A and B are shown apart, each in its own frame.
Chain A
Amino acid sequence: MNNILFLVLAYMLIWIVLFGYVWNLLKKQKNLAREVELLKSEVKESR
């Protein structure tokens, strides 16, 4: 394989892993926000 292909592959791996982690973090954040809303509505109903 050409040297430049290893360079491209390495940089691709870095961006994929970092974007994957940030994506996962944002998804988690969204789920937590949804859970907070659910809890709020549950508290409202119980009153």
Chain B
Amino acid sequence: MAVFYYAPIEQTMGIVQKIFYFHVASAWTGFSAFGVVFVCSILFLWKKKEIFDSIAYCSAEIGVLFTSLVLLTGPMWAKPIWNTYWIWDPRLTTTLILWLIYIGYLLLRNMISSAEKAARISAVYGIIGFVDVPIVYLSIRLWRTLHPEHVMIMGGENSGLDPRMFQVLMLSLTAFTLLFLTLLLIRVDNEKLTKSIDHIKKNL
């Protein structure tokens, strides 16, 4: 509601710029989810507790979901502005690579039959895979790109972002973060239950 009724329409791009509020929030959530994978993978290798592996796995799945949203909404925004759905721009390419890395993570887990081995290998993969997240973030500074610059520095006067746009963006980021946490809690609960059922079945 705030996106359509409170945030003003951007002068150059027009109404299509409103994709920004979900596109950026999805990217933020995807990066956060992969951050959780990174932290929980380290904790799993260090503490050897199964719960960290479950959180990492579930967070990777949700991260892929939100990165898919970034890759789907990006072209919808790009077509009317750049006149093309996709270009091999550094930001777009590194985001696609990030998505493929975590698709690989999910496939790898399902391909290894031993649960213990799968947890260990995917923890290492989850740590290495996270390297792409700062590369995606910094890609617009490191290389020439068509993708918009980071226009917002805490919504200050020189941020290039209208204060109402900044407020709506913050609201959107908060809503997406809460959605991520809720999905993660439900998904981890599911995973724990699945493991318990498998354990009971083996002992029956």
Contacts and interface: CB of A to CB of B under 8 A. Distances in A.
Interface in A4-47: 4, 6-7, 9-11, 13-14, 17-18, 21-22, 25, 28-29, 32, 35-36, 39, 42-43, 46
B79 A21 contact: no
B77 A6 contact: yes
Nearest to A17: B69
B197 A17 contact: no
Interface stretch (B11-19, B123-131, B153-161): B11-19
Contact of B18 (A7, A17, A25): A7
A17 to B, nearest CB: 6
B68 A28 contact: no
12 contacts: A3-B14, A6-B79, A6-B80, A7-B15, A10-B76, A11-B19, A13-B73, A14-B22, A14-B26, A18-B65, A18-B69, A32-B194
A14 B29 CA distance: 13
Taking each of A11, A14, A46, which has the highest tally of chain B beta carbons within 10 Å of its own beta carbon?
A: A14
Chain B interface SS verdict (over half): helix
Given A3-B14, A36-B197, 13 more contacts: A3-B80, A6-B79, A10-B19, A10-B22, A10-B23, A10-B76, A13-B76, A14-B22, A14-B73, A17-B69, A29-B186, A29-B190, A43-B204
A25 B65 contact: no
Interface string B63-99: 0010011001100110110000000000000000000
A13 B94 CA distance: 22
Interface magnitude class on chain B: 20 to 34
B19 A25 contact: no
A13 B19 contact: no
Contacts of B80: 1, 3, 6
Nearest to A36: B197
Given A3-B15, A7-B15, A39 B73 contact: no
Contacts of A14: 22, 26, 69, 72-73
Contact of B76 (A9, A21, A25, A29): A9
B187 interface: yes
B201 interface: yes
A25 B190 contact: yes
A21 B15 CA distance: 28
